[in-house]
Amino acid sequence: MTIGEALKEEQIKLGLTGKEMAAGVVTNGTYSRVIHGTRRISSDLLIEILLMHDIDLPNFFDKVRDTYLPNSNRLEEKLSSQFSLAVNNHDVATAIKVFKQIKEAKVNNHFKKRAQIAIAFLTKDMDDIDDKFRESIIYDLTKNENWIFNVKALLLFATAIVILPADFVEDKMTLFFRKISRSANISEIMNERFATVCVNYLHWKHTQTKKTGGKSKNDKSNVINAIKYLKNLESTTHFIIYIISAEYYSALFSGNLTRAKQIKMNLLDMGCTLAVKNWPI
């Protein structure tokens, strides 16, 4: 759907004429040409029209997203969706097939690295991840101080936690919490991405703690901050699994294994297998 088509759809829903829709922002003639696709509209004027009529901005841009999304991004989304589905279903054959397509495709290099880590984890071939590959990820995450707000770099870190040196992970998580604590008006989608980092970190940290017999070179401040972040998410359906995961990991790290097992069992009984089946216990 084009911007013009989306505007026309919203206009019809609101029961307005074109003149009423464009009033005070652009002329009726200009608006008419925009909705018929013979003229572009600036982002400033588009936003002004949308806000003037209290139109849901995320919903509006979702409508037009596919039309204006670059081909490389569209391909990456398609492959990412296919790959994630295969990995979540533990469909190794399909995951390997899609991974081969990802390697050959003209898509973001961070995405290719995430896929390589995921396939190694799925096929239990983590030894195939060599030091050179780890170093390339460390370089990616250190060359940009604001990687936390770079979506592709953030997702790379969330995936790569399991293969990176422990001290590096802890340092980056400390920086992560320092940065987001100073950020205001974090969007819902970024909150979800940050929550994914927290859950992945807690899963990794528990595994590390078991490997060292409960001993760790680092204090527990990152664990505390990760659980706190998840618990403080808005209590909506969208975030409920993250909030519950905070209770689960809080019980796990405090040694209350009975409660942790009960939380996991309750979620599995309710059919939440995709989200929790890989939780530590």
> What's the Cα-to-Cα distance from 82 to each of 79, 96, 276, rounded to whole Å?
5, 11, 20
Q: In angstroms, rounded to a whole number, what is the distance separating the alpha carbons of residues 227 and 242?
A: 9
Question: In this structure, are residues 272 and 241 in contact, taking their beta carbons and an 8 Å threshold?
Answer: yes
> What's the Cα-to-Cα distance from 102 to each of 73, 79, 115, 232, rounded to whole Å?
12, 7, 8, 36
pLDDT at 246: 96
Residues 166-219: tens digit of each pLDDT? 999 999 999 999 999 988 888 889 999 999 999 999 999 998 887 776 555 556
Mean pLDDT of 14-22: 95
Higher-confidence residue of 127 and 115: namely: 115
| Confidence tier at 276 by pLDDT (50, 70, 90) | confident
Q: In angstroms, rounded to a whole number, what is the distance separating the alpha carbons of residues 86 and 37?
A: 39
Q: Is 268 exposed, middle or buried (0-12, 13-18, 19+ CB in 10 A)?
A: middle
Is pLDDT of 42 > 90?
yes
| Confidence tier at 71 by pLDDT (50, 70, 90) | confident
Q: Cβ of 219: how many Cβ atoms within 10 Å?
A: 10
- The ranges of the chain annotated as CATH 1.10.260.40 are 3-68
> What 8-state DSSP symbol labels residue 23?
T
pLDDT at 154: 95
pLDDT at 213: 67
Name residues whose C-beta falls within 8 Å of residue 259's C-beta, 6 or more positions apart in sequence.
251
Mean pLDDT of 224-239: 93
Token duo for residue 164: 């990176």
Residues 234-271: tens digit of each pLDDT? 988 889 999 999 999 999 999 999 999 999 999 988 88
Tell me, which fold does domain 3-68 have in CATH?
434 Repressor (Amino-terminal Domain) (1.10.260)
pLDDT at 116: 94
pLDDT at 215: 57
3-class state of residue 199 by DSSP: helix
pLDDT at 48: 96
Question: In this structure, are residues 129 and 163 in contact, taking their beta carbons and an 8 Å threshold?
Answer: yes
Name residues whose C-beta falls within 8 Å of residue 268's C-beta, 6 or more positions apart in sequence.
276, 277
State the average pLDDT for the chain. Answer: 91
3-class state of residue 186 by DSSP: coil
Residues 147-163: tens digit of each pLDDT? 999 999 999 999 999 99
pLDDT at 279: 84
3-class state of residue 25 by DSSP: coil
Task: List the one residue out of 174, 162, 106, 170 whose CA is nearest residue 137.
Answer: 162
Mean pLDDT of 34-50: 95
pLDDT at 159: 95
